[in-house]
Homo-oligomer: A and B are copies of this chain.
Amino acid sequence: VLTSEEIDTPALVLDLDAVERNIARMAAECAAGGIALRPHAKTHKSPWFASRQSGAGAAGICTAKIGEAEVMARAGIDDILLTTELTRAKLDRFLDLLELARVTAVVESADAVADLGRAAALRGVEIPVLVDVNVGQDRCGVDSPEAAGVVARACASTEGVRLVGVQGYEGHLQHVLRADERRRLAFEAYDRLAAAVEAVRAVALDLDWVTTAGTGTYRYAIEHGLATEAQAGSYAVMDARYGAVEGVDFDAALFVVSGVVGRNRPGRLIVDAGMKTLSTDDGMPAVLGHADATYETVGDEHGRVTGLDATTERVWLVPSHCDTTINLHDRYTLVRGGRVVGTLPIAARGRVT
């Protein structure tokens, strides 16, 4: 369905029709399920996406880094949840950002609450914060309801900090292949989150913001009933790894088109897309439309493809991991109805600070 003739290779291609279908469908599912949607912008890194998601009813967006939030806020996107903890050195940038948009921070300790409080007090502002709960991913977050209560009480007693909710993201469950297994594990994570929420609510009675869930689990968050908000991001574009997860059925909207540059190896084509075009942290990309064909990177700028006709000129690939592949590129090449219709900057690409 996708054109290949007009695109210089390799290129990161976005099927706009598929993107719009995905955005509309996730918005409708969350609305029907009675849960807010706050799409994660670390996937698309583009204010255009964030704006379209907001237009479809999103409560705001998530970003992983202040740098991403800065790009979004400057483009006019409001209500940003920074889903990762901050080092102390970043608090000034965070406070600057509060001048442009509503931004919420997450905290995992009373020490972090004290840091935020001191910084906020110096400026005479108030920082909205969520208590971050570890529900099994074992990165940041508190480990127990008791620890959640400690952080909540620190918030309650610290000027410049306003406790507004709880975050507990089950990132480690998003790609559990079987739906029933994924549902069971997600419910365990939400039960763990519920105990922390209860401890926090003992401090903040009217707390009504519980944020969790990704593209692989948002349906279970709706079914479980605790969470008020889902943080899914990948659904907008999808990738080969999510495409293999049972019950995740958004449309593939993200592709890489590569050109054949080597034909001297029998049974193999060498293409001009390697590790600088396609991330491999989640395995190798899939070859679009050829289930038996395989692709593997063989260097920064080369890939080796088997299973295609020897006269092939262009090879279309489906990235294995959308976030890290998008982050390699400066722009999307836009396609609609099989025609190239311009490019879109990946404005927050590389914003790792």
Contact = CB atoms under 8 A, between A and B. Distances in A.
A277 B85 contact: no
A139 B324 contact: no
A9 to B, nearest CB: 6
A86 B271 CA distance: 10
Given A264-B109, A352-B301, A324 B276 contact: yes
Interface in A255-314: 259-265, 270, 272-273, 275-277, 279-281, 297-302, 304, 313
Given A139-B302, A279-B275, A11 B353 contact: yes
A44 interface: no
Interface residues of A, number: 59
A87 B301 contact: no
Interface string A103-138: 000001100000000000000000000000010011
Contacts of A277: 352
A265 B134 CA distance: 10
Contacts of A109: 263-264
A140 B264 contact: yes
Contact of A300 (B272, B276, B323): B323
Contacts of A304: 138-139
B301 A261 contact: no
A328 interface: yes
Contact of A301 (B42, B134, B143, B259): B42
Nearest to A65: B301
A143 B264 contact: yes
A319 interface: no
Given A108-B263, A275-B281, 6 more contacts: A65-B301, A140-B262, A141-B264, A272-B352, A273-B352, A301-B352
The 3 closest A-B pairs by CB, nearest first: A140-B262, A87-B259, A85-B261
11 contacts: A8-B90, A64-B301, A84-B261, A87-B261, A87-B313, A138-B304, A139-B304, A141-B262, A273-B352, A275-B281, A328-B350
